[in-house]
Amino acid sequence: MSSLDSTWITSLSCSPSSGLFPMEVPTQKEKSTSLLSLDGFFWVVQAITQLVLVILIIHVKRFEAVVHPLSLRLFWVVNFVVVSLFAASGVTRLVSLEGNESISFMIDDVVSFISLPVSLFLLIVGVKGSTGVIKLREETQSVGDNDEETKLYDQGLDKPGLTTGFASASQFSKTFWIWLNPLLSKGYASPLNIDEVPYLSPQHRAERMSVIFESKWPKSEERSKYPVRTTLLRCFWKDIIFTACLAVIRLSVMFVGPVLIQDFVDFTSGKGSSVYEGYYLVLILLVAKFIEVLTTHHFNFNSQKLGMLIRCTLITSLYKKGLRLSCSARQDHGVGPIVNYMAVDTQQLSDMMLQLHAVWMMPFQVGIGLFLLYNCLGASVITAFLCLLLVLVFIVVTTRQNKNYQFKAMISRDSRMKAVNEMLNYMRVIKFQAWEEHFNSRILSFRESEFGWLSKFMYSICGNIIVLWSSPMLISTLTFGTALFLGVKLDAGTVFTTTTVFKILQEPIRTFPQSMISLSQALVSLGRLDRYMSSRELNDDSVERNVDCDGEIAVDVQDGTFSWDDDGLEQDLKNIHLKVNKGELTAIVGTVGSGKSSLLASILGEMHRISGKVQVCGSTAYVAQTSWIQNGTIEENILFGLPMNRQKYNDVIRVCCLEKDLEMMEYGDQTEIGERGINLSGGQKQRIQLARAVYQDCDIYLLDDVFSAVDAHTGTEIFKECVRGALKGKTIVLVTHQVDFLHNVDCIVVMREGTIVQSGRYNDLLDSGLDFGILVAAHETSMELVEQGAAMPGVPTITKSASNNNRETNGESNSLDQPKSAKGSSKLVKEEERETGKVSFNIYKLYCTEAFGWMGITAVLFLSVLWQASMMASDYWLAYQTSVKRAEFFNPSLFISVYAIISVVSVLMIVLRSYSVTVFGLKTAQIFFKQILNSILHAPMSFYDTTPSGRILSRASTDQTNVDIFIPLFINFVVAMYITVVSIIIVTCQNSWPTAFLLIPLVWLNLWYRGYFLSTSRELTRLDSITKAPVIVHFSESISGVMTVRAFRKQKEFSLENIRRVNSNLRMDFHNFSSNAWLGFRLELLGSLIFCMSALFMIILPSNIIKPENVGLSLSYGLSLNSVMFWAIYMSCFIENKMVSVERIKQFSNIPSEAAWNIKDRSPPPNWPGQGHVDIKDLQVRYRPNTPLVLKGITLSISGGEKIGVVGRTGSGKSTLIQVFFRLVEPTGGKIIIDGIDISALGLHDLRSRFGIIPQEPVLFEGTVRSNIDPTGQYTDDEIWKSLERCQLKDSVASKPEKLDSLVVDNGDNWSVGQRQLLCLGRVMLKQSRLLFMDEATASVDSQTDAVIQKIIREDFSARTIISIAHRIPTVMDCDRVLVVDAGRVKEFDTPTNLLQRQSLFAALVQEYANRSTGL
């Protein structure tokens, strides 16, 4: 509490001489004597009281009391009651004075009126009790006591200047938002940066709110149907009640203005009881307006603060829930909808808080309005009541309809977001296959469905606006008609009191449907959140975990039956008996889809345990088959939250064979990895996640096929140095297809169809035959060629040092092929572009003229002016007809007929205007959506490598929603508001001409405040958008890697990171709406002062200038000046902030495009390529201008039907070569000619659609088997079945009840990696392309399946040209020729036999592969 408090209190001199109690009338002398003695005694009591209060305030400051003493708070409550009585008494006395009575109490009454708002403020302080003093350390401690995670505070966060001024502001500063001044002045001086925006107060931060939410969550025995709703009410009921109190106070002063109109008209007619009555009326008006303005903006501020707290609470809780979801629950929701829960649903609940109280306040507001109307018009108020009832019935019906439309639109938006998210995740595959048009039409079909419901929603809202905005005039017409029929006399005071009350009633009737819409949206969102938060979680007791335990067994599964389905309808693993001893290496082998990965998942507790028992002794580390890498540096990925131990870190890098890779990267381990590891090769990702596991130093390691993505030598090195070296003594369960390593494991587990069919050591299993024998036989067959090659005389003996130089790793993607540049940044992912300063006029022009050009916007403005003119005409007609001069000539039928005609014209204008704005908004939104979708699909691959998907998703969800709904809706409002402000100024100045002199400073101040506020608000809105994307990215990243996060028990660390990002975003939101309240209070106060001065001029000016009916007209307009002016300015600022969405969408609508998809006059022949003959002439490639070449003049010729194997070490340019064929990267020089046609002359789709490719990472899309194998629907069912049969999947698909329509979930998670790879092979078989590219296509399958695939390729693709990047030497041995690439140049290109005859790089590789299991 500041020392200013004592000054406010001393200003509260409430003299008893205001005449609160009636007395006998004494003589003049007695009266003056008694008054003087009473005054003297009163001032002595006041002095003592104030002295005591000052001492109490000093106590508060000195001892840093968090709450005011109870005695002081009680005094402020009583003080408000007394001051209110004094003020009421003064008003009563002054209004009832006769004209000849002297005004002896004027000074005391003025003091009472001035004291009233101050005492109201102190009443609020007394009720809340808080002094504004916050002990940050104690706050941190008290929150931290609840839960460990609440100790998350950024270093130095609580230093002055880094924490928001609100945290330490005095009550006075909080009342008038003075604490915000430093930030606004900083923002006005220069555009704000993220670091300049202070952090939230400790009591508002996400970590504290998260703990409170968890503590209030309904217990299981409560069986709550609506757990989210219940918890939110338990957490925030006090805040809801406080905002309700503010709403009630505002309501009680809102009708003071209309009540005073009659008194003003009477006073200017000469009927006043006192010459001073006019001054008192103005003073009462000023005080009422001050209280109304203060409570309005505190209501808005506190409601938005409550909304912010609800949003931050929900986001952190949704995130924690995401980390606990079971596998099938995660598949049920999908990443797209979960992003919508966070981005859209939580925002709708947050926005709802502003409109929550309008729902129940409406009957009270209407009731008071009807009471005032009854006083003016008597029984004719029944007409008004019936009309209002009709309007409400209409609103309730349409709101119900809107709820349905909104729900359907949200379902369609979910589907669209899911499709967009999937498209962004797999854009490389989509471009390889030339499927952009298919995905374009798929997303557009979802959008069309969404747009249909959206259009119905917007037209329905448009209907609401028409009814609500036209109802005051229509109801006035009917009510005045009834009054005239009943013989009620209409004068200026009565008429303008009535129209003003109708205008005030317009607010609750207008906000009521909006509130109902918000409420219905919020209820839909709450239902979705209830469903999500009530989803099944992983059962913690499915695995019995012991950190320290005696005994020899590390993993023990007894009679286990497991299912991926939570209900256990399908048994994926049956009768599992597995014992893994401590320190042993156990290998799990089996054909594709036999349940190997599922077995690891069951040990981790990721599957639903139907029966049996699982015991795990020690901490677990998990390396997934599909790599999961975070967006961050390589170092951050390996450390995974642990502190840096340089020696240990370097050892881990060495044993995981990452040294060479890091040397090749310009920034080494500080190189930033793109989203989903997009700029790393498959092998690099696999080794980085292996390094992450090794660095964690756990007891048990579950490794899922870690050798599939690496070449022979690297695999051997990792097995020796890492699995059998660094991890020696650890318990390891290894899923593998590498039969070579099985000699060196302690136990082998063989699986088939979800059961363990054999287990034991290598030789024992080999002797028994069965499944293991078949696997080994398949492997040995494939090794025969290699052994023959290794036995050739020219093959050298490879030393370890030589092999290190010649080792080959997986093909790399575009970024890490790039050579070092002289200078640059380690950040692959660029900082998000952020415009600063004003939203340019060009953005407004783009939005307004996109659909119908300048004619459209001119028509809307013209209709708006006509509508306002018709409204003014009706009021001028009322003033003219109710003037004193016209009283004797008054013709009721003429009066009501003309008024009715004007009303009908006004309604016609509002109908035309509203529908034109809605059509204009919908068409613009659809154009923008098609533009950004088209631009994204045409963007080159480099755009996706450097742009996180969260950035694109936020534009597709939040920004598109702004363009769909908010911008057209608020442009509609803001045009109406500005024209209304002009009309108010015209009417007021016409009748109170001195006000015109105040207009210049008023307009200047308004514009200055707007500019001062907007420079900060605009940047805060942009920063809000920019800090939102990382929250979304981190969330989707965490959900996709949740198995890894849970295996390492890192849920707490990930939750803390989520909290950090949420806090970073919320501080922008908090200061944004605080600045709105700062502006609103000042602008409305300014408007109220000008209006009260205008009213004062009307009283001061001589009666021959001021006509009573014009006073009524001016007051009925002027009463809304403060709010209309504020809303006009604020909504224009709001639109400018929302226009940032247009700016952001436009940024991504003009992405530099890749080459044309189709070029009409350059289409290749239908059967091209017919032969598959490839000529590469002096091919040179660089990724960006001014960087060195990646491919340095490659020249070679491949005959049609040849099988070419491509080998080479990391960064040699293997994958770049394949990307150049598909023109994902354009050549800098040279040519690729296929069957006589230069590929650079063709359209990209003409080119890509003629080639087949099997990528390294098998990608399936959400849908069915049919939609995955034939997305474009070109082939018959028979052709698809034949293709499935050839790729060994017919039986798997045929066994499912839905056959070809069997479900494929997001990312194909319900199919094994091997099955996914086979399905990708099936796609290529359908395509029948003459030219096939394979990027380690059989990495994820066992030797047996690999042999089958190779056989299929030999038979089915015998006449086709195949270019294959391969790590399995048997695959390469089967090729016609082998291409060895090194540093962007062709080093060797010959038949395997010829290369083995001489000292060659290839011969060295063969020798390594043949000898890789020796000495292990």
Q: Which letter, b or e, does each residue of 588-625 get, where b requires 16 or more Cβ atoms within 10 Å of its Cβ?
A: bbbbbbbbbbbbbbbbbbbbbbbebebbbbbebbbbbb
Question: Length of the chain, please?
Answer: 1416
How confident is the model at residue 716, as a pLDDT? 81
Query: With contact defined as beta carbons under 8 Å apart, do 670 and 826 qualify?
Result: yes
Question: Of 167, 165, 170, 128, nearest to 7 (Cα)?
Answer: 170
DSSP 796: P
What is the pLDDT averaged over residues 1258-1281?
82
Residue 908 has pLDDT above 90, yes or no: yes
Q: Which pLDDT tens digit goes with each residue over 1015-1043? A: 888 888 878 878 887 888 888 888 888 88
Decide if 595 contacts 754 (C-beta within 8 A): yes
Question: Is 1372 within 8 Å of 1205 (Cβ atoms)?
Answer: yes
Indicate the pTM of the whole model. Answer: 0.69
CB of 236 within 8 A of CB of 309?
yes
**Count of beta carbons in the 10 Å neighbourhood of residue 1272:** 13
Which tokens hold the place of 930?
A: 């098609």
Region 673-686: mean pLDDT is 74
Bridging pattern class, strands 755-760 and 1263-1264? unpaired
Beta strands (DSSP E) in 1286-1348 are 1303-1304, 1331-1335
Beta-carbon contacts of residue 185 (< 8 Å; ≥ 6 apart): none
Distances (CA, A) of 885 to 882, 1108, 1341: 8, 11, 100
d(CA 248, CA 236): 19
Sequence-distant (≥ 6) Cβ neighbours of residue 1216 within 8 angstroms: 812, 814, 817, 1181, 1190, 1191, 1225, 1384
Measured CA angle at 1055 (ends 1053, 1057), to 5 deg? 70
Mean pLDDT over residues 355-364, rounded? 84
Rg value, the chain, Cα? 39
State how far the Cα of 167 lies from the Cα of 201, in Å rounded to an integer: 5
Per residue in 578-632, pLDDT (tens digit) is: 888 888 889 998 887 788 888 888 888 888 888 888 888 888 899 988 888 888 8
What pLDDT sits at residue 391? Answer: 84
3-state secondary structure of 609: strand
Q: Which tokens in the block code for residue 569? A: 């309808």
Q: What is the pLDDT of residue 1059?
A: 92
Q: CA 793 to CA 642: how far, in whole Å?
A: 51
Alpha carbon distance 616, 619 (integer Å): 8
Six-digit token string for 544: 């019995």
Pair of tokens at residue 637: 């990925």
Q: SS3 for 410? A: helix
Of the spans 135-144, 436-445, 798-807, which averages the highest pLDDT? Answer: 436-445
Tokens 């692959």 correspond to what residue? 828
Query: Can you tell me the distance from the alpha carbon of 350 to that of 368, in angstroms, rounded to the nearest whole number?
Result: 30
Q: How far is CA 444 from the centre of its chain?
A: 22
Cα separation, 837 vs 824, in Å, equals 28
The helix/strand count (H/E) of the chain reads as 50, 24
pLDDT band at 9 (very low <50, low <70, confident <90, very high): very low
Q: What is the pLDDT of residues 558-585, one digit of tens each?
A: 888 888 887 777 888 888 888 888 888 8
pLDDT band at 823, cuts 50/70/90? very low
Please give the structure tokens belonging to residue 651. Answer: 């050892």
Q: Over 70: is that where the pLDDT of 136 sits?
A: no
Q: What separation in angstroms does the CA of 159 have from each of 199, 523, 702?
A: 10, 41, 45
891 vs 689, higher pLDDT = 689
Kindly report whether the peptide bond that precedes residue 1166 is cis, defined as omega within 30 degrees of 0.
no
Distances 766 to 584, 736, 758, 1231 between C-alpha atoms, Å: 20, 17, 11, 53
Name every residue whose Cβ is closer than 8 Å to that of residue 103 and which is 6 or more positions away in sequence. Answer: 94, 97, 274, 276
Which pLDDT does position 782 carry in this prediction?
Answer: 62
Q: Which residues are bridge partners to 1204 per DSSP? A: 1363, 1377
Q: Which pLDDT belongs to residue 816? A: 38
User: Mean pLDDT over residues 1242-1271, rounded?
Assistant: 82
Mean pLDDT across 1242-1260: 82
Q: Which of 178, 484, 518, 555 is nearest to 359 (CA)?
A: 518
Mean pLDDT of 266-282: 73
Contacts of 96 (CB under 8 A, 6+ apart): 273
* Cα–Cα dist 1149/1007, whole Å: 33
**The pair of three-digit structure tokens given for residue 519, joined into one six-digit string:** 């409420």
Segment holding 1207, helix H or strand E: strand 1203-1207
SS3 859: helix
Would you say 1210 and 812 are in contact if contact means Cβ atoms under 8 Å apart? Answer: yes
Quick: pLDDT tens for 963-1019: 888 888 888 888 888 888 888 888 877 776 677 777 778 778 888 888 888 888 888
Q: Which residues of 1143-1174 are buried (b: 16+ CB within 10 A; e: fewer)?
A: bbbbbbbebeebeebeeeeeebeeebbebbbb
Closest alpha carbon to 490 in 849, 895, 42? 895
* Secondary structure of residue 199 in the 3-state scheme: strand
Q: Residue 891 burial (CB < 10 Å; 0-12/13-18/19+)? A: exposed
Pick the more confident residue, 788 or 54: 54
**Tokens 């329509």 sit at which residue?**
1301
Q: What is the DSSP letter of 157?
A: T
Please, is 260 exposed, middle or buried when counting C-beta atoms within 10 Å of its C-beta (0-12, 13-18, 19+)? buried
Q: Let me know the angle formed at the C-alpha of 335 by 691 and 420, rounded to the nearest 5 degrees.
A: 110
**Cα–Cα distance measured from residue 422 to residue 860, given in angstroms and rounded to the nearest whole number:** 40
% residues pLDDT > 70 (the chain): 82
Distance separating alpha carbons of residues 116 and 12, to the nearest angstrom? 9
Distance CA 557, CA 733 (A): 13
Per-residue model confidence (pLDDT) at position 825: 46
Which residues in 77-102 are b (16+ Cβ under 10 Å) and which e? eebbebbbebbebbbebbeebeeeee
Least confident range from 257-266, 669-678, 779-788: namely: 779-788
| DSSP letter string, 228-254 | HHHHHHHHHHHHHHHHHHHHHHHHHHH
